[in-house]
Chain A
Amino acid sequence: MCDACGCDLPIENSTDSKIIEVHQSLLKANTEMADLNRSHFRAMGTVVINLISSPGSGKTTLLEHTIEQLDPAIKIGVIEGDIETERDADRIRTKGVPVVQITTGGACHLDAAQIHKGLHRLQHEYDINSLDLLFIENVGNLVCPATFDLGEDIRVVLVSVPEGPDKPAKYPRAFLGSHAFIISKTDLLPYFDFPVAEARREALEINPKLEVMELSATTGDGFEQWLSYLRQLVQHQKTTNGEK
C-alpha cells in the first residue's frame, strides 16, 4: 500500500534490486550431514578415523596390517572410498572385517552424505550396532578431501617415503586439518632422499598439534606406536561413553 495517499496500487520497485545478507557456509549441507554422522557414531560407541593421502601412500596396506595386529577384542569396520573399483574393499574383506566400498564415479573426495549412506550399508550388510574403530579410507588425493568434514573424530594424513618430504609445505591444508601425520614406507629410507627430520619440522610448523609417527607396515618398524595410538583412542572413547 502507498504510504502517501493510502491507495492499493503496488509500489513500483520491481526493477530495484535487493540485497540479502546470507552469511551461510557453502559447506552447510555437508557440515549438517557430518554432525548427523557424528551422533550416529557416538551412538555406536565408535572412534572414526579419516585417512587422507596421495594415491599409493599405503593407506590400504596400513589398514591390512592394523587389522591383523590390533587386539582381536577391538571391533573394526572400514569404509573404502575410491573413484572406481571394489579392489580395496576386496583386500580388506579377506581380513574378515566389515567393509563397504564407496565408488565416487569421478569425484575427487568423499563427502558426509556418502559416509552416511556407507554407514547404513555397513550396518545393514553386517548386522552391526556397535564398532570400536571405523576407518574411512578417503579417495587418494591430498587436496580436496581436506575440505570435507565427514563426522570423523580423528584425521590422519599419510606421506610415504618415495613421495618426498615436501608434502606438508606443498599441501598445508591437509596437515592443518589433521590430528596425526604418518610417514609410511620407512623401510625405503635407504633408497630415497627423504630427510625425516625436515618433513617432521615442516609439518609441525604448519600444525604444531600433530602427532607424528614413522612406520613401515612391511617390516613392522614403528608400527607399535600407531597401534598404541589407536588403543588409546578406543580406551578414551570407552571411558567417555561409560561416564555418560
Chain B
Amino acid sequence: MHELSLVQSLMEQLQDLATENKATKIITVTMEIGPLAGVVIDSFEFAFEALAKDNPLTTKAKLVISKPAISYSCLDCQHVVDNCQERPSLCPACQAPHLYPDGGDQLILSRIEME
C-alpha cells in the first residue's frame, strides 16, 4: 500500500504548485502512470479520494490517469515491439523470449488545472 505515501507526496507537490501560482482551488490533476510503475491504479485513486477531501485546495479535484503504452526490445535480434500494454511473451521477429522494456515505469504529474 505504498500508493498512500505516493499520493501524500502528490498532495505536497499540488500544495507547492498552488502556492507558486496563487491558486486556491485545483480542478483537475492529470497523471501518467506507466504499466511498470508498480502502482495499483485503484489504490492510487482510493488514496487520492481519501486525502483530497481533507484539503480545501483539492476537495473538488478530479484525478485523470493516463496509462501510456511502452515498447519492448528483443535482446537477441534488437527488434522493437511498439505500443504494448502487456509484455509480449515472444519476440515476433525471432521468437526468442528475451524482451526488455524501454521505460514504462513513469509516475508523473503531467499537468494541473487550477484557479
Contacts and interface: CB of A to CB of B under 8 A. Distances in A.
Contacts of A172: 36, 87
Interface stretch (B9-17, B50-58, B77-85): B9-17
Nearest to A201: B97
B114 A25 contact: no
B1 A108 contact: yes
Binding site of B, secondary structure by majority: helix, strand, loop or mixed?
mixed
A208 B75 contact: yes
Contacts of B36: 172-173, 176
Contacts of A26: 6, 9-10, 13, 31, 107-109
Contacts of A28: 13
Nearest to B3: A144
B100 A209 contact: yes
B67 to A, nearest CB: 15
Interface residues of A, number: 37
Interface residues on B, range: 35 or more
Interface in B3-25: 5-6, 9-10, 12-13, 17, 21, 23
Given A25-B107, A26-B108, A18 B2 contact: no
Contact of B21 (A18, A107, A173, A176): A18
A205 B13 contact: no
Interface stretch (A9-17, A117-125, A186-194, A231-239): A9-17
Contacts of B109: 22-26
Given A20-B111, A20-B112, A109-B2, A25 B106 contact: yes
A227 interface: no
Given A20-B112, A22-B111, A25-B107, A143 B100 contact: no
Contacts of A143: 2, 38
A18 B97 contact: no
A146 B2 CA distance: 10
Contact of A206 (B37, B75, B87): B87
Interface string B87-115: 10100000001111100011111111111
A22 B15 CA distance: 13
B63 interface: no
A22 B36 CA distance: 21
A160 interface: no
Given A25-B106, A146-B38, A17 B97 contact: no
Nearest to A202: B97
Contacts of A147: 2, 6, 37-39, 107
A90 B110 CA distance: 45
Contacts of B115: 14-18
B87 A17 contact: no
A204 B97 CA distance: 9
Interface of A: 14-30, 107-109, 111, 143-144, 146-148, 172-173, 176-177, 201, 204-209
Given A22-B109, A172-B36, 15 more contacts: A15-B115, A18-B115, A19-B111, A20-B114, A22-B110, A24-B109, A26-B9, A29-B12, A143-B2, A143-B38, A147-B2, A176-B36, A176-B105, A205-B97, A208-B75
* Pairs A-B, 3 closest by C-beta atoms: A144-B2, A173-B38, A208-B98
